[in-house]
Structure 1
Amino acid sequence: MRTLTDHATDNPATTTGQKQALLYVHVPFCRSRCTFCDWVQAIPNKDLTRRAGDPIRERYVEALCHEIRTRGPEYADKEISTIYWGGGTASNLTEDETVRVMTAITETFDLNPLTESTIECSPDTVDEDKLVMYRELGFNRVSSGVQSFDPDRLRSLGRRHSAEEARGLPDMARRAGFEHVSIDLMSGFADQTNDELMESVETALTLPLDHLSLYSYRPTEGTHLRKKMDPKDKRDYIAQQYALYAEARMRINEVLPEYGHGYFGRKSAFTTLYFQAKADTLGFGSGAASFSHQRLQLHRSGALHAYITNPLSFELDEPLDNDRTLISFIQAGLSTNEGITRTDWSILTGTELLEVLDRTRIRPLADLLRHRGLIEDEQGIRLEPEVRNLTLIQLAFEMAVFES
């Protein structure tokens, strides 16, 4: 199989007619359910924890390969510049399952334009041999949801890996030939202290990383940790989250430059292209969404059996101008230093950015952003980093609490 060239994509640009596309593969399986995670809360535990050899999981892999091979030709006008495998836990797949899915991709798409291929790995699901296998398949970037290096915190989050496994993964990835290694940390838990978070940050900065993500906890209804938080105290929670984030951000910035809210180091092509609406997204698998040809096509999370029965059917298939979807695009775009350009927005969504900001359901958000110093000019919209970070932490917290 083709090995990727490892050159950086410092500032991906839109190609004529929005020809670039991101290919996303969703793996809806984990070894257990983490107490903070809202990405898999719709998946019944029996389905989430299906192991290798389970007949339902086997049928899922078959359905995923079928969807890739069948829908792939619909995107012949697109140039696949980035691949991202997420979940769930993408590294939960066995070597055989991983090879089968990647073979479907390489036999369906022209990957010559590809510059970045990422797989999400939990430290407890990989060893050096598995990482070597990923590199041989063409992945050139590993992203690991470490979340914390504090043993007590890891236990409270329901993580299966140890702090030692988390510290060892970046070195293993380097030995396996990966030039690009990223980890995620989380902040803003109700009982988290500044000392605890900063110890994890300092540990991360000693590791051979070229990217670090720092996420604030979202108290989404249905997650176990949400039960420990009282929405009536939201001001205190938001203030705590911002204080924790601000100090950690300042320290990380001394080593890795910030290019967006929570993102530090070498720019991830997937993050940049997706958040700034610079490319279509082709999503495959139960729980994946596609944003292409100015349409939203969604496989609902948790509908594993429906997906297996008909992986070519979508629970949602509509023009890409739904207010709720566009609000999420606005928040994502404003998380980057460059923000959103009017041209990219129009090509991806088929709408005009200024018209969208004036819609009845979106105007309150636009008014808040303008009050916070939203920059609007001929190029597009953006927020200054200091204002952006507090604003996005507040919006994410309030939407998790009040829209769930």
Structure 2
Amino acid sequence: MIQAAYIHIPFCTHICHYCDFNKVFLHQQPVDAYIEALIIEMERTFERFPTSQLQTVFIGGGTPTSLTAKQLDRLLSAIHRTVPLASNVEFTVEANPDGVSDEQLYVLKQWGVNRLSFGVQTFDNELLRHIGRTHTKETAIETIERANELGFHNINIDLMYGLPTQTIDQLKETLHITFSLPIQHVSAYSLIIEPKTVFYNLMKKQALRLPSQEEEAQMYEIIMEQMEQRGYKQYELSNYAQNGFNSRHNMTYWNNEYYYGFGAGAHSYMNGVRYVNAGPIKKYIQLIERGQFPYINTHVVSKEEQMEEHMFLGLRKSEGVNKDEFFRRYGKTVHDVFDEAIALQKRNGLLEETEEAIVLTHRGKLLGNEVFQSFLGVSS
């Protein structure tokens, strides 16, 4: 049964230097037509792939709060009309710290949005300018506090480390401010230089001064240590939450479960098949208007691929891969399929095994990609 839905809003008022998500400048875009197409896609999808109840909805982007309050109202009202929501649904909307008004927050609250995710990245104004963000430390703090005052008590912020010119002291100051605010969840990611971004072009010109690998690893260690000290449990490699505030939506991905994906460039995983939607806005709208689904690619996931994905996604979780759950899903034990890879990474000190699970060691968290790679292409 599918219990999660992701909804993509591809519009941005500004493009950040590191971002490679499917997004476009908001100006002169067919926003209203896109929202109508999005609603039609949801209606058709639930007719073709019905579910009894959604436990999580996540509206991301792009910048969902680039929509006006009226446009948000149109979208959210349609979601409530179309989508079978659980009474305790986790309903998340991403927002820019300098791009959300009280009117928008009221609309979100009215339609049951109960979790906000702010793309803060850092509370250092110099670094914010370097990475192409338009907000300041002060506006981020003000927006988070205002959202809390208006009744949003499940707030996530995204942070980044390993940024160009970033120092250990700058990271520590960002963490200090984070812990002073009404924030229940933190996603902290290292910077990855992606093709077709401003940073990628600067890197090719050797004009991007990044922290060393040792400094980046030290930053990760500091984040893990300080989060633990301040009562934020690390439940996934990059995610930390106060008690009771783990992201239920993201757990869908890490548990390798099915989910709907709506909108331009969105991905779905439904009934053993992965679907990819058209990315360009006009093409997406045209496909919907022609009465078609917007899929440009479908892939039936083999049992071997499912098992591999289960391992490298599950190992991201602090609880690791549950051995009984693996056997229940696939009819084989993890050692039937991955004994050699597990043994190798245990010898390397990157994995450990309990009676219940296979989990990353502390050192394994620092070298996660090396561990994940060892499970690819070995189950066939």
Contact 2:18 2:197 in 1 (8 A): yes
Contact 2:98/2:143 (CA < 8 Å) preserved in 1? no
**Shift in Å, 1:243:** 0.9
117, 135, 150: which one aligns with 1:176 = 150
Please tell me whether the aligned partners of residues 350 and 367 of structure 2 are also in contact (alpha carbons under 8 angstroms).
no
Q: Aligned to 1:76, which of 47, 50, 59? A: 50
Once the two structures are superposed, residues 352-391 of structure 1 have per-residue CA deviations (whole angstroms, 9 ceiling, x without a partner) of 67499659xxx8899557734334577553213x134202
Counterparts of 1:323 and 1:223, CA distance in 2? 34
Identity fraction in percent: 26
Shift of 1:328: 6.0
**Partner SS for 2:269:** strand
1:292 to 263, 270, 280: 270
Out of 10, 13, 36, the residue aligned to residue 31 of structure 1 is 13
Q: Which runs of 5+ in 1 are unaligned?
A: 1-18, 397-404
Match for 2:263: what amino acid?
Answer: G
Paired residue type of 1:283: G
Corresponding position of 1:10: none
Distance 1:201 1:327 in 2: 35
| Aligned mates of 1:175, 1:236 — CA distance in 2 | 37
Q: How does 1:11-160 map to 2 (within 5 A)?
A: 19-40=1-22, 43=23, 48-51=24-27, 54=28, 56-160=30-134
Q: 1:381 aligns with which of 358, 363, 370?
A: 358
Counterpart CA distance in 2 for 1:56 and 1:132 is 25
Q: Is the 8 A contact 1:259 1:336 kept in 2?
A: yes
CA apart distance, 1:280: 1.6
Q: Which amino acid aligns with 2:252?
A: L
Q: Distance in 1 between matches of 2:129 and 2:306?
A: 34
Q: CA RMSD in A?
A: 3.3
- Alignment deviations for residues 155-197 of structure 1 (CA, whole Å, 9 cap, x no partner): 1111111211111122111111112111111001242110111
Q: How does 1:243-282 map to 2 (within 5 A)?
A: 243-255=218-230, 256-265=232-241, 266-277=245-256, 279-282=257-260
Mean Cα deviation higher: 311-320 or 155-164: 311-320
CA distance in 1, matches of 2:360, 2:320: 7
In 2, Cα distance between equivalents of 1:395 and 1:38: 25
Find out whether 1:316 has 2:316 as its counterpart: no
Distance change >3 Å, CA 317–CA 38, structure 1 → 2: same
Q: Which amino acid aligns with 1:310?
A: L
- Cα deviation, 1:50-100, whole Å, max 9, x if unaligned, reads 23xx46222211111110111112332342001111111111111222122
**Residue 224 in 1 paired to residue 198 in 2?**
yes
The secondary structure found in structure 2 opposite 1:133 is helix
Question: What's the counterpart of residue 378 of structure 2?
Answer: none
Distance change in 2, residues 1:370/1:219 (3 Å): farther
Distance in 1 between residues matched to 2:29 and 2:168, nearest whole Å: 46
Residues 194 and 244 in structure 1, CA contact (< 8 A), matched pair in contact too: yes
The aligned amino acid for 2:20 is D
User: What amino acid is aligned across from residue 9 of structure 2 in structure 1?
Assistant: V
Native 8 Å contact 1:281 1:290 kept in 2: yes
Q: Return closer, same or farther for 1:117/1:345 CA change in 2, 3 Å cut-off.
A: farther
Report if aligned partners of 1:116, 1:141 keep a CA contact under 8 Å in 2: yes
Q: How far apart in 2 are the matches of 1:322 and 1:237?
A: 39
CA–CA distance in structure 2, aligned partners of residues 145 and 194 of structure 1: 20
Per-residue CA deviation, residues 244-276 of structure 1 (Å, 9 max, x unaligned), is 111122112211222221211221111223212
Q: Distance in 1 between matches of 2:41 and 2:175?
A: 40
Contact 1:22–1:81 at 8 Å: present in 2 too? yes
Q: CA deviation at 1:222?
A: 2.2
Report SS of the residue matched to 1:159. Answer: coil
Aligned length: 363
Question: 5+ residue gaps in structure 2?
Answer: 373-380
Q: If the length of structure 1 is used for normalisation, what is the TM-score?
A: 0.79
In the alignment, is residue 304 of structure 1 matched against residue 281 of structure 2?
yes
Q: Confirm or deny that 1:392 pairs with 2:371.
A: no
User: What TM-score, normalized to structure 2?
Assistant: 0.84
Q: Is the 8 A contact 1:65 1:100 kept in 2?
A: no
Between the aligned partners of 1:322 and 1:330, the Cα distance in structure 2 is 13
Partner of residue 320, structure 2: 339
C-alpha distance 101-160 of structure 1, shift in aligned 2 (>3 A)? same
Answer with 57-66 or 314-323: which moved more.
Answer: 314-323
Q: Is 1:188 aligned to 2:162, yes or no?
A: yes
In structure 2, the CA distance between the partners of 1:323 and 1:131, relative to structure 1 (3 Å rule), is farther
- 2:84 aligns to what SS in structure 1? coil
